[in-house]
Amino acid sequence: MNDLFDLSGRVAVVTGGSSGIGLATVELMLRCGAAVALCGRDEARLRAAEAGLRERHPHAKLFAQACNVLDGDAVARFAVASEAALGPAAMLVNNAGQGRMSTFADTTDAAWTEELHLKFFSVIHPTRAFLPQLEREAARLGDAAIVCANSLLAAQPEPYMVATSAARAGVRNLVRSLATEFAPKGVRVNAILLGIVESGQWRRRFEARTDRQLDWAAWTAQLAAERHIPLGRLGRPEEPARAMLFLASPMSSYTTGSHIDVSGGHSRHA
């Protein structure tokens, strides 16, 4: 365990924690000694993730519950069950969400509503449910934190992801507003701005590639070149997870209302 990130005695909650960046964040939190509660919509995938975590961390304090973060009542029940199992949360990672490929011309009213609802309420519901716990832990420990996984689209929109870009910009504003409101109670709120990170979605696109001569490394390097990513590759899930670990931990105790850019240099915004 790294003493700089010794999270012993703290409880972390990670939404969307059964795969990708969420699962990588859970893994890091456990390695740093935190007790971790995770949730995900897919029961089978959640239980498979839980089994793997328990195998790799047999002595860890871990709680997993299927939960759709868009269901406020379900999130409230998850908060109660998590506290009963592990104690009150000192760190909340809002990670649930996905991107929608669409232009203004082909985005229906229903699609706009669905996308805005997803991006906002995947933050609002867990924050509302866990805030009382975070406030109590801030008073006890001197620090508590909320971290949101946001996208570079919030500052650098793409025309083929118009609804997601707009929603992400709104979440960026929401993070800043919450940070100001919660600061007097010792609860910090920050986020990361993600670039392109390896995921199941990109693996599926790789499997559907037209040039079958390209392996994963060559295909992703080509993608990085096309997207003008200076580091020349996609991000790995553990890389944004490290940024979220930093923002959730007392190592960032004087940071709130901020966004860390994790895009491999893809950012062009000031």
Query: Does the pLDDT of residue 270 top 70, yes or no?
Result: no
What pTM, to 2 d.p., does this model score? Answer: 0.94
Helix residue ranges, H only, 87-141:
109-141
What pLDDT score does 100 carry? 77
The stretch 219-228 carries a mean pLDDT of 89
Q: What does the alpha-carbon distance between residue 240 and residue 14 come to, in Å, rounded to a whole number?
A: 14
The CATH number of 3-197+238-261 is which of 3.30.930.10, 2.40.10.340, 3.30.450.20, 3.40.50.720?
3.40.50.720
Q: How confident is the model at residue 200 (pLDDT cuts 50, 70, 90)?
A: confident
Res 4: pLDDT: 64
pLDDT at 202: 79
Q: Helix, strand or coil for residue 176?
A: helix
| Higher pLDDT pick, 119 / 159 | 119
User: What integer is the mean pLDDT of 226-255?
Assistant: 95
Question: Residue 99's pLDDT is what?
Answer: 75
> H or E element: which one contains 21?
helix 20-31
- How confident is the model at residue 245, as a pLDDT? 97
**In degrees rounded to 5, what are phi and psi of residue 88?**
-70, 145
Give the sign of the dihedral formed by CA 198, CA 53, CA 45, CA 94: negative
Extents of the domains making up the chain? 3-197+238-261, 199-234
Q: Please list, in sequence order, all residues whose beta carbon lies within 8 angstroms of the beta carbon of residue 228, skipping any fewer than 6 positions away.
A: 266
Instruction: Quickly state the pLDDT bin for 89 (edges 50, 70, 90).
Output: very high
Residue 26 — φ and ψ, nearest 5°? -55, -45
